[in-house]
Amino acid sequence: MTDFAGRKDSVAPQPPELISPWHTPERAALQEEARRFAHDTVLPLADELDRQKAEMPRSLIDAMAGKGWFGITIPEAQGGLGLGVFEYCLVSEELARAWLSVGSILARGQGLGTQTLDPDRRADLLRRSAKGQWIGSISLSEPNAGSDLAGVQTRAVREGDDWVLTGTKRWAGFAKGADFVEVLARTRDPEPGESRSAGLEPFLVLKERDSFPPGMTGRVIDKIGYHGFETFELTLDGVRVPESDRLTGLYGDQGADADSGGFAAVQRGLNIARVHTAARAVGVARAAVEDSQAYLQERVQFGHPIGDFQALRFALADMAADVAQARAYWQQVAHLLDQGEAAESESAMVKLLATEMAVRVTNQAMQLHGGNGYTTERRVERYWRDARLTTIFEGTSEIQRRIISDRMLPRAGG
């Protein structure tokens, strides 16, 4: 295909999918639908807009909403597709293959911002979420609290029937375009002997799209990649939230206990987010493999396509094997989550392995492209920039290693 820059990148034919224990005709059809949409609709927009650091158009979000993808994990009774983590990640991998941010925007649905205290309102918001009419931003981190969420210092002080939020939040993606922002804030300091996370509660800050509510301002963070929507540092100066908008949990996961409350309810959502990140990383890495496959046949040196040279052929083979391995693992862990397993170690493992793989594979893809890979004339530089983020967000690689090792080894004196 010839794109806006006149280059001739082509998406190489996808090798046949490996048949897995989790393969069904319904999942295959869903995957094929997402793959066509990613190639025909998302990829041309990514080629045009990413280099401008521009946002994805609302029409694209509406098109995904029309397919029901913002409600993949929402029960059919609430207007969703009634599917699981597996299908959610399956669609996200395909979309991320075209543009990482589009694979990510689906997480702003799936029941996010619906765990209100009123069950009737919760049901109404779930229906809106499933239709893509209730798309949010989640704001957990702060300038001094990223990996250590228990260090959150944004305060929520009760005043009558309201809570008043004050503090600074960081890395709030899509905050301006969203219908709401979920904010993690501290309602009290921990008592002696309590966990450091005691007193942390999520709050629902309602807003109009493309603006901020009274008391909230946002500064755009200038990222090197992950374009498609803006990411903000938010300042909250007396943002008022009614008690009815204090939430019972984060992330909108329909498999979580809605009454488990506050910080404790975050964990399952974090595990799903880690598997979702692994699937997105696989999508980005797969893009690098497919574009490299095409380039090795297109580029001629010394009278031969460079794909004739064994060193380059073997590098491509290693890349493809790494992608296939990571895909098989995220599918396994997604299946465990759908079966109700906590899978905390497994979620950390697949997030660690898949994202580190994506960095390695996209880096090798740039090398295979030679000097052409270090230009904006080829998509591979976009994959490289986006892959690098996957080892950082939703918990850094170091945090994943800590989670895994803490469940394998006791600490001295503990």
Q: Is residue 307 part of a domain?
A: yes
What is the count of structural domains for the chain? Answer: 3
Q: 133-158: per-residue pLDDT in tens?
A: 999 999 999 999 888 888 899 999 99
Single out the catalytic residue among 94, 142, 394, 398: 394
Q: How far apart are CA 409 and CA 70, in angstroms?
A: 39
Half-sphere exposure of 188 (CA within 13 A, CB side): 9
**Looking at the structure, do residues 124 and 151 belong to the same domain, yes or no?**
no
Least confident of 11-15, 277-281, 366-370, 403-407: 11-15
Q: What percent of the chain is modeled with pLDDT above 70?
A: 91
Predicted pLDDT at 9: 53
Q: How far apart are CA 364 and CA 362, in angstroms?
A: 5
Taking a C-beta distance cutoff of 8 angstroms, is the pair 244, 116 a contact? yes
Q: Which helix (H) or strand (E) holds 142?
A: none
Q: Is residue 11 part of a domain?
A: no
Q: pTM of this prediction?
A: 0.91
Residue with tokens 């909230």: 216
Q: Work out the average pLDDT over 375-381.
A: 96
**Looking at the structure, do residues 272 and 402 belong to the same domain, yes or no?**
yes
Residue type at position 386: D
What percentage of the chain's residues is helix, strand, coil (to nearest 5)?
50, 15, 35
Q: Is residue 401 part of a domain?
A: yes
Predicted pLDDT at 195: 87
Predicted pLDDT at 265: 55
Which residues, other chains included, contact 192 with Cβ-Cβ below 8 Å and sequence gap of 6+? none
191 is catalytic: no
**Domain housing 70:** 25-131
**Looking at the structure, do residues 273 and 367 belong to the same domain, yes or no?**
yes
Q: 331-372: per-residue pLDDT in tens?
A: 999 999 999 999 999 999 999 999 999 999 999 999 999 999
Which residues, other chains included, contact 264 with Cβ-Cβ below 8 Å and sequence gap of 6+? none
Q: How many CB atoms lie within 10 A of CB 244?
A: 12
Average pLDDT value over all residues in the chain = 91
What CATH code is carried by the domain that includes residue 195?
A: 2.40.110.10
Structure tokens, 64: 């995904």
**Looking at the structure, do residues 217 and 296 belong to the same domain, yes or no?**
no
* Polymer length in residues for the chain: 414
Q: Look at residues 110, 131, 152 and tell me which one is the last residue of a structural domain.
A: 131
Distance of CA 74 to the CA centre of its chain: 17
